[in-house]
Amino acid sequence: MTDVTAPTREALCPALFIAGIASGQGKTTVTAALARLHRRKGRKVAIFKTGPDYLDPLILAQAADHPVEPLDLWMAGDAFCRQQLFDAARQCDLILIEGAMGLFDGTPSSADLAATFGIPVAAVINAKGMAQTTAALAFGLKYAPQPASRAFELAGIIGNHVGSARHRELIETSLPDDIALLATLARDEAFELPSRHLGLVPPSEQDGLSRRIDAAADALEGTALAALPPACRFFDQHIPAPEPTLAGKTVAIARDDAFSFIYAANLRLLRALGAELCFFSPLEDAHLPDADAYWLPGGYPELHGKALSANTALHEALRQRHRAGTPILAECGGMLFLHETLTDHAGTCHTMAGLLQGHGEMRTKRGCQGMQYAPLPEGDIRGHAHHHARSHATLEPLTHARRAHHPAPGEAIYRSERLTASYLHLFFPSNPAAVASLFGADGSR
């Protein structure tokens, strides 16, 4: 609980919220380019990503040379978001926040987040195939009827995929006087960020990512975005440290190209709970590190099915730890690895570690999506789901996740001895005590 008796400290820092009218407008490209542009000017840039996301932050972190954190009023909570922004404002020269989907999409939405913290919005609009209609969309963003809680300042728009100087002119002259055209990006393959199912291709699997970001940054040089935006005021939330109930325990975490969906905030929370962290690679390591608990996060096991299937020594090591009653958490891709088999997009069936009854299968159709929380015996832990897989012939679920804003059941949550598995990606700071218990805090079971 926040210590409301502590004196409130504040910090000022220029900040800008990069939103859009929908997904696929180029928000990540613009945010990365803007971060790189200001880094070139010697400024320290902090970037945040609205909502749950693992892939965009990897791109943005490379652009800013600074870790990227999620901000979400439901999953992380108001206090967490306020503290993150305050800490960034004290250390950085510029704060950038990339929105999710369209500006008003979701509950809470990007507009809600911008309004809550008083951050001006720059809206990215993909202008390919239209000209004056761009102005109508911008007008709608600025003047769409909204409750007072969603009141935000529209700093202007950024036109993406603009085909020519004449195209830019048509957009600019059609805009109302109170909506600025802050910048435009041309239709240029040099800026394009490659993608696949679940999102953008991670930096480790791209060639020339830094070159693409530099090219987009070059295009923003000389525009209104090259100057710092107005300073915003951020406040210290005084979040107390959790009790170190994992002191003396080691948590081993799978981390490699197959398992990379890890929030830095989750690692920080485990360390704040007193745990020592170590890492292993299910792709390369035949042996498990000695640990008191194991965490297999999400990722892309379906892209590495052959290598994961061949690592039978690690399969057996995991099974031994499971039989010994060691706490194990497996999320999404981590759960697929612990199934008996996993069938990839090409239809090839790979033998997996077999700790958890069931068979995973990739598909083009999305699975159960969105914000959900896990009502575990240890306590409710908030998180989200986003996957293109399904499981069948599984154990009877322990329970089902509950959606944030819909009565339908969420993801199935399985438990076998001390193994807890689900398609959910959990956000640990949403309930530190429950997370500590899940990983075997003293006195927990």
- The CA distance from 248 to 390, in Å, is 37
- The CA distance from 269 to 267, in Å, is 5
Strand, coil or helix: 322: helix
| Pair 95, 230: CB distance under 8 Å | no
81 is catalytic: no
- The CA distance from 288 to 188, in Å, is 46
- The amino acid sitting at 408 is A
- Reported in sequence order, the residue ranges of 258-388 that DSSP labels E, i.e. its strands, are 259-261, 276-280, 293-296, 298-299, 328-331, 341-343, 349-351, 359-362, 370-376, 379-385
Q: Annotated catalytic residue: which of 81, 232, 332, 368?
A: 332
Q: Which strand (E) or helix (H) includes residue 79? A: helix 78-91
Angle between helices 110-117 and 78-91 in degrees, nearest 10: 60
- The amino acid sitting at 355 is L
- The CA distance from 292 to 294, in Å, is 7
Query: Which positions ≥6 away from 2 have C-beta within 8 Å?
Result: 79, 237, 238, 239, 240
Start-end of H helices in 278-340:
305-310, 312-323, 333-338
DSSP 44: -
Active-site residues, by number, are 332
